[in-house]
Structures are given as C-alpha cells and as structure tokens.
C-alpha cells in the first residue's frame, strides 16, 4: 500500500532515512566497526586484487560511478565502472586478480547477470550489491552485500540508489582499513559521519515544499534541460537527468561542467533550464564560474548547494540547499532534491509517475 502517499515513488523517497539506517547499522558491530558478514574475502584475497570492475545498468550504474570514487579514494585500488550491456561485449581484461562488483536492485537484470557469468568464467571474484535476497545475481556471487531498502515498487529507483551508495562507502572503508590504506582514526571518523546520514537525509527532504511550489514550475513546460556537475556531482547530474527523463518525459542531459566550453555551451539559449550541482567544496568556485557562463548566455539556473555556501545565489535563479556534508559523502544527500524535483515535475505534467511509459521494473531481456 502507498501508506497515504499519492505514489509509491514519493513513499519510497521518504523511506530513505530508514533504508540508509538499516543498510548501515546491520553491519556495525558493538565496537562501532564495519562487519561485513556476507563478504568472505580474507585479507589475503583482498591483497591479491589489483583491479575492480563495477558493472550495472541505469540507476545502479550511477551508484557504481560513486562507488569508484569511494574505492579509489579509500582503498587505493583502480576501478572501472561500466554499463553491463557494454562490458560483456568489449573483451575486458579479467583474471583471478580481478574483483567484479555487480550492482542490481532486483538481482535479475539480464545484462548484469550475463556479465557476472562471463567474468566468473575468466576467474574473477564476484561481489554483488543487491536488494533482493535469493535473487539470481545473489545466488551466483561469491560474496553478497544486501541493501536493506525494502521492496521497491515504483519503476523509478530511489531508495535502492541511496542504499547502494551506503553499501559502497562501507565496502570501501572496510577494504581500506584491512589493506591499511587509511588510518584507524580516519576510519572511525568516517563511520561517525555515516551514522549522521539518516538524520541528514530527513533534513534534506525538508526542501520538499520549496521544490514542489517554487522550483518544479520552472521545468514543467521545458522541452529540454541540462544537468551540470563536477567530480562526484557529475555522477549525480547523470542520475538527476535519468530520473527526470524517465518519469516526466523531458529531454535531459548531464554534462561534466568543465566540458561546457568544448561544445555543449552552444546549446544554451534564452530560458534553457540548467540544473547546476555544486555541492563539492573543492570544486565550488569552478562550478560558480560555469554557472555564470551559462547564465550570461540566457540559461535559467537552478542550483543545488550546501547550506553554508550562500555565495551560490549570485550565479543562480533558484537554489535548493542540502545540509553541510563532506565532499565524499555528499552523494547520499544530493540525489534527494533531484528525486523530488523529477517527481513534482512529472506530477505537474500529469504523468503516470509509478508506471512510466515503455518501462518495466525489472529488465530480464537483453
Ligand atoms: C531507473 C531504474 C533503472 C534500473 C536498471 C537496473 O530509475 O530503475 O535504470 O536502475 O534497470 O535495475 P536493477 O538495479 O534491478 O539491476
């Protein structure tokens, strides 16, 4: 049941504080350390791994792009994130020093499952991040990390994504402390910050009224929209663009903001909506200049930024704030306004939010 919400999608958006919390606390032992019971990799197995591929489709692929940042930053292992329907046909270099991480809410996506079988045959170790216990992908993996998001009914994925992000942060921190690539102090500090996330997720969702009443109307009649970001925010831009395309049928594209000058900026004209994601402290000034560049060419700029960065207002027409957060963990919060924006734009356009045209919840054909 929709528990009083108009759509499953909105209900599932609001289940994120608890999904994030469940995924996290089930793996924290009494000493507050990460204990990945389902991951049987020993320190020896881990030390052997010299390359990671993260393979998935759609929103799960976008979570895998963030996973790459987390694993490379914390555990110092090179990671390639790939789309399952591309990975399996491009003869990737795989041997017994390769770890393949599959991400799949349903655990049944055909191309993701085929990638698993392909890599297993070549000797890779297989770890999956999935939401469905006993699913095909879970059954055929060496190690499974379950996201405890609860059943996801809406075709547009929301809570599966945020719990996949939490999974990646935990896997990366666990690998890192075991490999000795981060200090015990930093590890403990990051776990404390993860523990604050459920509350910060709730806080970020308080932007709902602002998004519904002030921001969604700016996109409602758009035929096209652009999502810009740098660093982690570029991956969030991709997820934001996918979400609005699939449920509101507005054409949307994500661009790495630094690529604007290499062609994309030609698309900007009077009134073009640009969603500028500027949550990365380290890249904030650079994002503000990119926003000024598109604004000078007539773009209508909707920015997403951390609460303390009020300076963003000089380059934006509308701002949606998220709570202050570390650059590396921001993804868990940044996606929330993007989900709410897609939801309200779709509702205001009269779209069938939970069952968008041409789509199925689980894609079991290739
Ligand atoms: C988008 C969406 C899809 C899925 C993709 C993978 O909102 O839901 O892009 O993320 O079809 O599905 P799973 O995660 O079940 O493998």
The complex's ipTM works out to 0.98
Q: What is the pLDDT of residues 87-135, one digit of tens each?
A: 999 999 999 999 999 999 999 999 999 999 999 999 999 999 999 999 9
Is the sign of the CA dihedral 121, 62, 339, 249 positive or negative?
Answer: negative
Q: Which of 292, 319, 317 is CA-nearest to residue 207?
A: 319
Indicate whether residue 58 lines ligand 1 (CB < 6 A). yes
pTM: 0.97
What does the pLDDT read at residue 207?
A: 98
Average pLDDT of the segment spanning 204-227: 97
Q: What is the pLDDT of residues 152-204, one digit of tens each?
A: 999 999 999 999 999 999 999 999 999 999 999 999 999 999 999 999 999 99
- What atom in ligand 1 is closest to the CA of residue 61? 10
Helix (H) or strand (E) holding 106: none
Side by side, the strands of the sheet bearing 143-146 are 79-83, 51-56, 98-104, 125-130, 143-146
Helix (H) or strand (E) holding 270: none
Residue 176 CB-half CA count within 13 A: 27
245 is catalytic: no
Distance (angstroms) between ligand 1 centre and the Cα of 284 equals 30
Average pLDDT of the segment spanning 18-41: 93
Q: What is the pLDDT of residues 299-320, one digit of tens each?
A: 999 999 999 999 999 999 999 9
- What atom in ligand 1 is closest to the CA of residue 56? 16
Q: Nearest C-alpha to atom 10 of ligand 1 is from which residue?
A: 59
Q: What is the pLDDT of residues 60-98, one digit of tens each?
A: 999 999 999 999 999 999 999 999 999 999 999 999 999
In this structure, are residues 146 and 12 in contact, taking their beta carbons and an 8 Å threshold? no
Looking at the predicted structure, is the pLDDT value of residue 362 above 90? no
Q: Which of 135, 131, 201 is CA-nearest to residue 161?
A: 131
Q: Whole-angstrom Cα distance, residue 339 to residue 235?
A: 14
What does the pLDDT read at residue 361?
A: 84
């Amino acid at each position: 049941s929709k528990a009083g919400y108009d759509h499953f999608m909105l209900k599932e958006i609001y289940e994120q504080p608890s999904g994030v919390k469940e995924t996290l606390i089930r793996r924290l032992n009494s000493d507050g350390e990460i204990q990945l019971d389902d991951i049987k990799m020993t320190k020896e197995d881990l030390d052997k791994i010299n390359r990671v591929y993260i393979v998935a489709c759609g929103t799960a692929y976008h979570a895998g792009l963030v996973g790459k940042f987390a694993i490379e930053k914390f555990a110092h292992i090179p990671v390639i994130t790939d789309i399952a329907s591309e990975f399996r046909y491009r003869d990737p270099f795989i041997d017994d020093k390769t770890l393949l991480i599959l991400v799949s809410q349903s655990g049944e996506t055909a191309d993701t499952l085929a990638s698993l079988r392909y890599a297993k045959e070549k000797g890779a170790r297989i770890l999956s991040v999935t939401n469905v216990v006993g699913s095909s992908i879970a059954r055929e993996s060496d190690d499974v990390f379950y996201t405890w998001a609860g059943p996801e009914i809406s075709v547009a994925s929301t809570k599966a994504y945020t719990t996949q992000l939490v999974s990646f942060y935990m896997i990366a921190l666990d690998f890192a402390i075991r490999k000795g690539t981060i200090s015990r102090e930093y590890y403990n500090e990051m776990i404390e910050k993860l523990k604050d996330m459920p509350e910060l997720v709730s806080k970020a969702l308080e932007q709902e009224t602002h998004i519904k009443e002030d921001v969604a109307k700016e996109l409602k009649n758009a035929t096209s929209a652009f999502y810009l970001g740098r660093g982690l925010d570029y991956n969030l831009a991709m997820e934001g663009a996918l979400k609005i395309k699939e449920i509101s049928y507005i054409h949307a594209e994500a661009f790495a903001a630094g690529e604007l000058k290499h062609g994309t900026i030609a698309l900007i004209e009077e009134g073009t909506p640009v969603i500028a994601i500027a949550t990365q402290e380290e890249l904030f000034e650079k994002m503000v200049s990119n926003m000024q560049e598109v604004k000078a060419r007539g773009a209508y700029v909707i920015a997403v930024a951390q609460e303390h960065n009020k300076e963003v207002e000089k380059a934006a027409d509308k701002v949606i704030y998220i709570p202050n957060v570390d650059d590396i963990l921001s993804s868990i919060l940044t996606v929330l306004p993007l989900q709410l924006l897609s939801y309200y734009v779709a509702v205001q356009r009269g779209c069938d939010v939970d069952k968008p045209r041409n789509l199925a919840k689980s894609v079991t054909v290739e």
